[in-house]
Chains A and B, each alone.
Chain A
Amino acid sequence: MSVPIQFDAERAVVLSGGRSLVFHCHFYNCALQRAIEEGMGERAPKVLTEGAARAIHAQLTGLGDAIEDIPAFAEAAFRELGFGLLDLSGVGARGGAAKVQASHYAMGWTAVHGPRETPACFFPAGFIQGAVAVAHGLPLESVTVEERGCYAAGAEDCVFDVRVSEGEVAR
């Protein structure tokens, strides 16, 4: 496994980069996302994406120098943690396009709630945002990720546009 994990059996916690990892299945993941979307309406996408971006950012920061190739680590972590297959090869310091196949969130949502009109992959979008920011030394808020095709909304795979703010690109 590429993701360093420490299991403290006495406290029943699992840590990676000092951050807690917990097992949950797609039923809970989708139920929680639905609760947030229904409860927060238009504010939900930002909150869901931001939560993911901060989580991966904190883990990567905690792991620090233990990771040499951050995009490769992010792809491995995404797969090993059960979120699907992430391809960041089309993303650089100026942005680009990322792809997720077999997205846990998109497949899970479709299986539990059926297809939807809007994209479902807020967690993967935030994950990409956080990983790209750390990989290129960018402030988290300078990276935006938008899912332009989602399996849950009828696309074959989930595709994300990654943009880096003008100011950061110019630097």
Chain B
Amino acid sequence: MKVLVQRDCLGGERIVEIELPRPVRLEDLDRIEGVETRTVLAHLPRPFFRLDVPGRFLLTGIVSDPRVRFTVRMAVRDRALELALEAAERLAARSTS
């Protein structure tokens, strides 16, 4: 798990980019908990996804690409890296099915 960037143009360290050990698969997205809005532009040659988890983060990335980006909410900004890494581990976990 490689942390690529932590930056935030609004002045905090709330954007965490992580390179997973393997590319994201569509079914990996199901393991992210608390998703309120899930957008997957599946018709694109490189399907973009955007998962919004209120109170925690916005997760974006591209299916078949190992890089994902977490934009962590202001309210939990002090735990930005921890929350991002925890979710990234879930994302990259082996499927149990």
Which positions in A face B, CB cutoff 8 Å? 25-27, 102, 107-108, 110-111
Contact = CB atoms under 8 A, between A and B. Distances in A.
Nearest to A108: B10
Interface in B3-51: 9-11
Contacts of B11: 107, 110-111
Interface of B: 9-11, 74
A123 B97 CA distance: 52
A158 to B, nearest CB: 14
Contacts of A27: 9
Contacts, number: 12
A110 B9 CA distance: 10
Given A26-B10, A110-B11, 10 more contacts: A25-B9, A26-B9, A27-B9, A102-B74, A107-B10, A107-B11, A108-B10, A111-B9, A111-B10, A111-B11
7 contacts: A25-B9, A26-B9, A26-B10, A102-B74, A107-B10, A110-B11, A111-B11
Contacts of B9: 25-27, 111
Contacts of A107: 10-11
A108 B9 CA distance: 8
A108 B10 CA distance: 6
B36 to A, nearest CB: 14
A126 to B, nearest CB: 22
Contacts of B10: 26, 107-108, 111
A80 to B, nearest CB: 13
B7 to A, nearest CB: 11
A57 B11 CA distance: 32
A107 to B, nearest CB: 5
A60 B10 CA distance: 30
B25 to A, nearest CB: 31
A107 B11 CA distance: 8
Contacts of A102: 74
B83 to A, nearest CB: 18
A119 to B, nearest CB: 18
A25 B10 CA distance: 10
A78 to B, nearest CB: 16
A26 B9 CA distance: 9
Nearest to A102: B74
